[in-house]
Amino acid sequence: MKSRTIKVDYLARVEGEGKLYVKIKDNVVTDVRFSVFEPPRFFEALLRGRRFTEAPDITARICGICPVAYQMSSSQAMESLCGVTVPGPLRDLRRLIYCGEWIESHALHIYMLHAPDFLGYQDAISMAKDHPDVVNRALKLKKIGNDVMVLLGGREIHPVNPRVGGFYKVPTKESLTQLVEPLQWALEASLETVRWTSSLSFPEFERDYEFVSLRHPDEYPITEGRVASNKGIDITTDKFLDTFEEIHIAHSTSLQAKVKARDDYMAGPLARYCNNFDRLPEVAQKAARDAGLSEVCKNPFKSIIVRSVETVFACHEALRIIEGYEPPEKPFVEVPPRAGIGHGCTEAPRGLLYHRYEIDDDGIIKDARIIPPTSQNQKSMEEDLRFFVGKNLDLTDEKLTWQCEQVIRNYDPCISCSCHFLKLDIQRD
């Protein structure tokens, strides 16, 4: 009897701490665990008793890389609860700051965290020795995303300007115009990024995913839409918990999500792209086609190309918004509190982010529930590992371990966000 164990105790190039364990017995994968061992942070509990207007600032602290996602999902939940919609230029500005977050987050993951996997480097610094132009392009692209966030949010990490109802202060047309030239450069750099990532070599791997993302009547989804999947889900955000459930498993401090009626599902760039290819602007569709992608991509390793296509979209969308922008009369819409339950769903760079709040007549939060993309993807990551290892048993432990880590990094997991949640451990018996 031959057994192998493949394990990684501290996964690199992911945000937060997690580990991987795969056990193989007689060439059959018998156990797969993707564990999160970061301590839980109790955000949902500490929101109770706070004012509803504080949720965007408190929940932004969950993540340094996608704080805008938390601000937008929580604001949307509070506004829908109070019966308020935020229209016109304020809605556009929210979309614009979110584009900034997509650009900086995707640039970071594509170049600094994911690309070293494909090129055989331990990290971006060693990659930079051989590919300085590529890394310089990444740094500039990321900075432009940050600059969008700084201009609208006051600072790039945990912006202070967004609020329930809109913003504390809105930019002038002139100040936004300063972003046009850098964003035009960023659009070209993103197109180059699509070409560059499509030239990498990818393991042959496809799975029949249930792709879950937002779907909007006429936009590529960022800030709003119905929750939809390629296997028949099409619901308003208030039905989220009727359709999905979270399960506590012993080996992880992060809850695992599944579709109640079925099983694991995938959220994130691949899901958004496959569910919404028809909503991408022509420039992004063409870049995808030229890179050899069809309208549906089921190879998670190719998420690096899809992220690049989404970066093209985000730059194009940001330029479109800036071009049409006229400042609103007021920087925010008044949101008077009323008792009830509200739901918010927006697309963080790494996938769907769901918030649910219950507040009382005074606007005090009675209950909060947050389901970040990484906990939604956790089960899908384990299934990818099971499937991938099963198909690649002939690889050496070293090569298999490297590629298993890559399987996890395909998701751009943000472990700190998910834990309420990487280490690889492959055991061959």
Q: Which residues of the chain form contacts with another protein (CB under 8 A)?
A: 12-16, 64-65, 108, 113, 124-125, 128-129, 132, 135-136, 139, 142-143, 146, 155-157, 414
Q: How far is the CB of 64 from another protein (least distance, A)?
A: 6
Q: How far is the CB of 46 from another protein (least distance, A)?
A: 15
User: Is 154 or 340 the residue whose CB approaches another protein more closely?
Assistant: 154
Question: Residue type at 291?
Answer: A
Q: How far is the CB of 408 from another protein (least distance, A)?
A: 13
What is the spatial distance between Cα 182 and Cα 315, in angstroms, rounded to a whole number?
A: 10
User: Is 146 or 197 the residue whose CB approaches another protein more closely?
Assistant: 146
User: Is 134 or 249 the residue whose CB approaches another protein more closely?
Assistant: 134
| CA 357 to the chain's CA centroid | 21
Q: How far is the CB of 181 from another protein (least distance, A)?
A: 17
Q: How far is the CB of 130 from another protein (least distance, A)?
A: 9
Q: How far is the CB of 223 from another protein (least distance, A)?
A: 22
User: Is 29 or 36 the residue whose CB approaches another protein more closely?
Assistant: 36
At what angle are helices 88-107 and 180-198 packed, to 10 degrees? 40
User: Is 92 or 156 the residue whose CB approaches another protein more closely?
Assistant: 156
Q: How far is the CB of 85 from another protein (least distance, A)?
A: 32
Which two tokens mark 166? 């809109």
User: Is 89 or 349 the residue whose CB approaches another protein more closely?
Assistant: 349
CA distances from 181 to 100, 187, 205, 323, 429 (A): 15, 10, 39, 12, 58
User: Is 112 or 271 the residue whose CB approaches another protein more closely?
Assistant: 112
User: Is 13 or 272 the residue whose CB approaches another protein more closely?
Assistant: 13
Q: How far is the CB of 315 from another protein (least distance, A)?
A: 19
Which two tokens mark 84? 């308020």
Read off φ and ψ for residue 368, nearest 5 degrees.
-140, 145
User: Is 125 or 393 the residue whose CB approaches another protein more closely?
Assistant: 125
What is the spatial distance between Cα 5 and Cα 8, in angstroms, rounded to a whole number?
A: 10
Residue positions counted in the chain: 429
Q: How far is the CB of 228 from another protein (least distance, A)?
A: 29
Q: How far is the CB of 120 from another protein (least distance, A)?
A: 17
User: Is 108 or 257 the residue whose CB approaches another protein more closely?
Assistant: 108
Q: How far is the CB of 53 from another protein (least distance, A)?
A: 21
User: Is 130 or 323 the residue whose CB approaches another protein more closely?
Assistant: 130
